[in-house]
């Protein structure tokens, strides 16, 4: 009896295994059709040519979150500027915007020629604001950083200490008093005297409204920005190029931001805000959030609200995402530095561009568990390659596009960056469904009825020209992998520390665009030429 029961169990498990294997295979073979509708008459937004930006921070090795110390020697004070991979990773963008700043910038002082006190680094102290003592930037290190950025061709913005001169009220929350600009003025004058090029000076980090530390009122912050603008105008008087003034570098606040912008608008060129929309580094549901379109969509209301504030204020200032790491408190290992991170990162890049955001800065270039580069080796994490493909393919003019089909397929369309045609970024967040996409391009002039330009590429007289596709997938299908495949081949730096070439596959333009499950695809289609992407439109819009 026992022997028969054992035989029954063995047969049951064999049949069950076969059944579930067949179900799994069936799921893997699911293919859905969809149509991407593109309006080619005019663009809906325009981004900077150097839209992609990354940050470098001040956190020392003793910075820890949830018991994990993930920063290593990634601080601007001790970063290895001689590393070939690091150098080549920046050079590959030509140029890469880099924002120097972060929480500790508001506790940083700058060495001057006349300082008699030693210039000491940040030291961990739980009793201090942000749990670190005041730190100091040596002039010799500032020289080294500027020489490095010059060689790499980076465009640098620098975050200044807006707490300098202020006192903290008895509530432990409110920062009172005017910004003391004397130390910043010394650094700026030194920078100009040495001929260093700074793209912009930014005031403060997350000290507005519901910030991470002391809060500065909108009126006071505007007053401080006006002072910075005057200071920069005085120091750069007679220079051909004057750096941008950026602020406030904070989390969006629907009440605080309009007050600030209305008062500071004449002194401000860029309104910077920060986004951490996925969750904290200790959140166990990060992957589920990253792959959930409705969660990713929540950020769109803040991007839209900020654009509304800018329009209503009449200011000429533009919006940047000045810092975004997705997962706050230094990220999470094997999530925000792995392949799965690309689903929120690249989606948020695309979404930000549709709302006329001019520049998007990733926290970080290197440092923490959310760097584009590995903190120890400087080798690129998967998001680096996604950012590089965006930078090379997606042009300034953003087109209106709507995908009709599976809800987990995200799509973004731009004019091609440096050649004819259009460029697409397509993100398939579904775990088992391939999506075959056809294109429908129209010219929806508001004064006339929409005109169908093209439904299939076969109708285009230049149909013989192939399109270029770049398919990004995780190694071994593991979303937590830190190795990415481009068209099935691993991307790795070589023995000389050189960034690999990103080569496309060439596809017959009449074939549908096939997006595999859990993959990210960039497509360049030179055969689709629309008014929004004409050379005159690119130049004057």
Residue 445: pLDDT band with limits 50, 70, 90? low
- Between CA 402 and CA 95 the distance in angstroms is 31
pLDDT tens digit string along 150-176? 999 999 999 999 999 999 998 888 999
CB-based contacts of 368, cutoff 8 Å, min separation 6: 57, 59, 70, 71, 74, 325, 330, 331, 375
- Predicted local confidence at residue 444, as pLDDT: 74
- The sign of the dihedral angle between the CA atoms of 324, 327, 329, 331 is negative
pLDDT for residue 443: 85
pLDDT at 354 over 60: yes
Q: Which helix (H) or strand (E) holds 362?
A: strand 359-362
More confident call, 23 vs 487: 487
For residues 1 and 95, what is the distance between their CA atoms, to the nearest angstrom?
76
Check whether the bond before 248 is cis (ω within 30° of 0).
yes
Each residue of 69-111: pLDDT tens digit?
Answer: 999 999 999 999 999 999 999 999 999 999 999 999 999 999 9
CA gap 99, 345 in Å, rounded = 17
Whether the model clears a pTM of 0.75, i.e. scores above it, the answer is yes
Is 8's pLDDT higher than 50?
Answer: no
Sole residue written with tokens 């290992």 = 333
Per-residue pLDDT tens for 106-118?
Answer: 999 999 988 878 9
- What integer pLDDT is reported at residue 448 of this predicted model? 57
- If you average pLDDT over every residue of the chain, what do you get? 92
**Three-state SS annotation for 195-264:** CCCCCEEEECCCCECCCCCCEECHHHHHHHHHHHHHHHHHHCCCCCCCCEEEEEEEECCCCHHHHHHHHH
Nearest Cα neighbor of 357 from 148, 35, 47 is 47
Q: Average pLDDT of 9-36?
A: 54
Q: Are strands 467-474 and 484-486 parallel, antiparallel or unpaired?
A: antiparallel
Report the b/e string of 33-71 with b at 16+ CB within 10 A. ebebbbbbbbbbbbbbebbbbbbbbbbbeebebeebebb
What pLDDT does 232 receive? 98
* Mean pLDDT score, 351-360: 98
Specify whether the CB–CB gap between 471 and 516 falls below 8 A. Answer: yes
For tokens 């299939």, name the residue: 456
Q: Is pLDDT at 524 greater than 80 in this prediction?
A: yes
Closest CA to 274 of 383, 352, 163: 352
Task: Read off the pLDDT of each residue in 269-280 and give the average, rounded to a whole number.
Answer: 97
3-state SS record for 43-83: EEEECCCCCEEEEECCCCCCCCECCECCCCCCCCCCCCCCC
Bridge partners, residue 53, by sequence: 97, 361
* CA nearest to 468, candidates 387, 533, 393, 415: 393
Confidence of residue 211 (pLDDT cuts 50, 70, 90): confident
pLDDT band with cut points at 50, 70 and 90 for residue 11: very low
Residue 464 confidence class, pLDDT cut points 50, 70, 90 = low
pLDDT at 29 over 80: no
* pLDDT for 119: 96
Per-residue pLDDT at 189 exceeds 60: yes
Q: For residues 396, 399, 405 and 407, what is the CA-based torsion angle, rounded to 10 degrees?
A: 60
Diameter of the chain measured on Cα atoms: 99
Task: Supply the residues annotated as catalytic.
Answer: 206, 323
Is 426:410 a contact under the CB 8 Å cutoff? yes
Q: Give me the torsion for CA of 95, 100, 102, 104, rounded to 10°.
A: 160
Q: How confident is the model at residue 17 (pLDDT cuts 50, 70, 90)?
A: very low
What is the band of 462 on the pLDDT scale with cuts at 50, 70, 90? low
Residue 14 pLDDT grade (very low, low, confident, very high; cuts 50, 70, 90): very low
Q: Nearest to residue 60, comparing CAs of 39, 36, 46, 76?
A: 76
């Amino acid at each position: 009896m026992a022997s028969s029961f054992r035989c029954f169990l063995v047969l049951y498990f064999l049949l069950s295994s076969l059944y579930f294997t067949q179900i799994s295979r069936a799921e893997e073979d699911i293919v859905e059709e969809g149509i991407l509708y593109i309006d080619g008459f005019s663009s809906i937004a325009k981004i900077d040519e150097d839209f992609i930006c990354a940050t470098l921070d001040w956190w020392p090795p003793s910075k820890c979150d949830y018991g994990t110390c993930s920063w290593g020697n990634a601080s601007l004070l001790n970063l290895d500027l001689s590393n070939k991979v690091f150098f080549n990773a920046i050079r590959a963008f030509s140029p890469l915007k880099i924002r120097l700043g972060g929480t500790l910038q508001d506790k940083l002082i700058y060495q001057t020629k006349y300082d008699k006190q030693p210039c000491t680094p940040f030291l961990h102290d739980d009793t201090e604001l942000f749990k670190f003592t005041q730190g100091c930037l040596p002039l010799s290190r500032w020289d080294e950083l500027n020489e490095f950025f010059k060689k790499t061709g980076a465009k640098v913005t620098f975050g200044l200490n807006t707490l300098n001169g202020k006192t903290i009220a008895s509530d432990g929350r409110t920062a009172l008093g005017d910004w003391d600009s004397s130390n910043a003025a010394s650094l700026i004058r030194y920078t100009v005297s040495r001929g260093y090029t700074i793209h912009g000076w930014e005031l403060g980090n997350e000290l507005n409204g519901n910030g991470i530390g002391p809060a500065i009122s909108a009126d006071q912050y505007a007053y401080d920005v006006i002072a910075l603008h005057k200071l920069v105008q005085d120091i750069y008087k007679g220079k051909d190029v004057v750096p941008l003034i950026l602020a406030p570098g904070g989390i969006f606040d629907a009440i605080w931001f309009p007050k600030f912008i209305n008062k500071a608008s004449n002194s401000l060129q860029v309104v910077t805000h920060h986004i951490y929309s996925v969750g904290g580094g200790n959140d166990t549901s990060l992957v589920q959030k990253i792959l959930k379109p409705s969660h990713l969509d929540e950020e769109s209301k803040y991007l839209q609200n900020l654009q509304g504030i800018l329009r209503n204020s009449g200011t000429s200032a533009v919006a940047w995402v000045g810092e975004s790491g997705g997962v706050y408190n230094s990220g999470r290992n094997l999530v925000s530095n792995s392949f799965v991170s690309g689903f929120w990162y690249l989606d948020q890049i695309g979404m930000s561009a549709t709302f006329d955001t001019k520049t998007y800065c990733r926290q970080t270039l290197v440092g923490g568990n959310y760097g584009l580069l590995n903190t120890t080796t400087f080798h690129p994490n998967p998001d680096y390659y996604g950012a590089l493909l965006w930078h090379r393919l997606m042009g300034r003019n953003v087109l209106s596009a709507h995908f009709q089909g599976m809800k987990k397929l995200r799509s973004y369309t731009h004019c091609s960056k440096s050649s004819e045609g259009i460029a697409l970024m397509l993100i398939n967040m579904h775990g088992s469904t391939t999506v075959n996409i056809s294109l429908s391009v129209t010219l929806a002039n508001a004064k006339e009825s929409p005109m169908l330009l093209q439904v299939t590429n076969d109708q285009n007289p230049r149909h013989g020209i192939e399109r270029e596709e770049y398919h990004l997938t995780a190694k071994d299908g593991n979303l937590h992998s830190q190795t990415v495949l481009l068209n099935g081949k691993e991307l790795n730096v070589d023995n000389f520390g050189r960034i690999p070439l990103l080569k496309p596959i060439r596809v017959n333009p009449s074939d549908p665009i096939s997006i595999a499950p859990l993959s990210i695809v960039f497509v360049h289609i030179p055969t689709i030429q629309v008014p929004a992407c004409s050379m005159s439109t690119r130049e004057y819009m």
